[in-house]
Amino acid sequence: MRVNNLKRAVVAFALALPGAAIAAVVAAPAAHADSCYTWNRMLGQGTSGADVRQLQIRVAGWAGYRDIVENDGIYGPKTAAAVRRFQAAYALRVDGIAGPETFGKLYQIQDDDCTPRHFSWSEMDDGCGRGGWRGGPLTEAQTRQNALRTMWKLEAMRKSLGDRPIIVTSGFRSRTCNARVGGASDSQHLYGNAADVVSRSRSLCQLARDARYRGFSGILGPGTRDHGDHVHLDSRRENNRDRTSNTTSWSAPNCGVGNN
């Protein structure tokens, strides 16, 4: 039944697009049993809903230079552009419409716990190694949601840099943990919005430069005090609960990465 419904949805959506023809309709795949999330309709500009939000989480890392994909459930131009970049990166048909082919690739790179293939909850939780998502300003659910979005941005960075491993050295920190490691009192690590990263096969400057295209509004790297051995990445523009909201702060001067 799900397959038939999806086929009808594909046809209806395609015919609703300007200049669309039945010949352009992509056949629906077999029903996909995914333990995390399964999309049941085509998505494109003008659609909205919880399924769009789920898509936005997964394409957040394809936002483009100095931009972000808002997780607002509205499929607007930014979401469409991010989908096109995702499609191009994975050698899919580039049309900005999320359909069977795009969803199929997302299922392929998504684990059953909703994390992208190359990142995990364990490496993103509590930088002091104690585990858990409590002790920050947000609820556990909110913190985990932020961490999930961060992981998907890192997955996009990994793909962009040639599928080379990226290692997270610090993710979410409780207030106690943050104080112990000497983090700033308003650190984005407290919100699950941040990750400190390194790579064995890519330089810190390569990480910092690529991060400008991955939806990260906070970048601290080589040339910034205390960031000579890692790159700090965060999503402060998406965090409206602290004083750094709606700002972009990039500082990796040794890499030519700055606010201008």
pTM of the predicted model over 0.75: yes
- For 44, left (φ over 0), alpha (ψ -120 to 50), or beta? beta
* 47 plus 147 within the same structural domain: no
HEC states along 110-166?
ECCCCCECCCCHHHHCCCCCCCCCCCCCCCHHHHHHHHHHHHHHHHHHHHHCCCCCC
* 95 plus 207 within the same structural domain: no
84, 109, 134 — which closes off a domain? 109
What mean pLDDT is predicted for residues 192-202?
A: 96
Q: 230 an active-site residue?
A: no
* 63 plus 157 within the same structural domain: no
With respect to residue 260, please indicate whether it lies within any of the assigned structural domains: no
Q: Where are the alpha helices (DSSP H) in 161-184?
A: 175-180
Q: What is the pLDDT of residues 40-79, one digit of tens each?
A: 999 999 999 999 999 999 999 999 999 999 999 999 999 9
For residue 186, CA distances in Å to 37, 151, 193 come to: 33, 21, 12
Our count of domains for the chain comes to 2
For CA atoms 217, 81, 256, 155, give the dihedral sign.
positive
Q: What is the largest CA-CA distance in the chain?
A: 61
Instruction: Give the N- to C-terminal CA distance of the chain in Å, as an integer.
Output: 53
Residue 209 CB partners (closer than 8 Å, separation 6+): 252, 255, 256, 257
- Residue 172 pLDDT grade (very low, low, confident, very high; cuts 50, 70, 90): very high
Q: Residue 175 is which amino acid?
A: R
With respect to residue 136, please indicate whether it lies within any of the assigned structural domains: yes
With respect to residue 93, please indicate whether it lies within any of the assigned structural domains: yes
With respect to residue 114, please indicate whether it lies within any of the assigned structural domains: no
Catalytic residue chosen out of the listed positions 32, 118, 189, 227: 227
Triad 48, 35, 116: Cα angle to 5°: 75
- Domain containing residue 22: 2-109
Q: What is the pLDDT of residues 80-100, one digit of tens each?
A: 999 999 999 999 999 999 999
Residue 205 has pLDDT above 50, yes or no: yes
Give the whole-angstrom CA distance, residue 197 versus residue 124. 11
* 182 plus 97 within the same structural domain: no
Write out the two tokens for 116: 């992208």
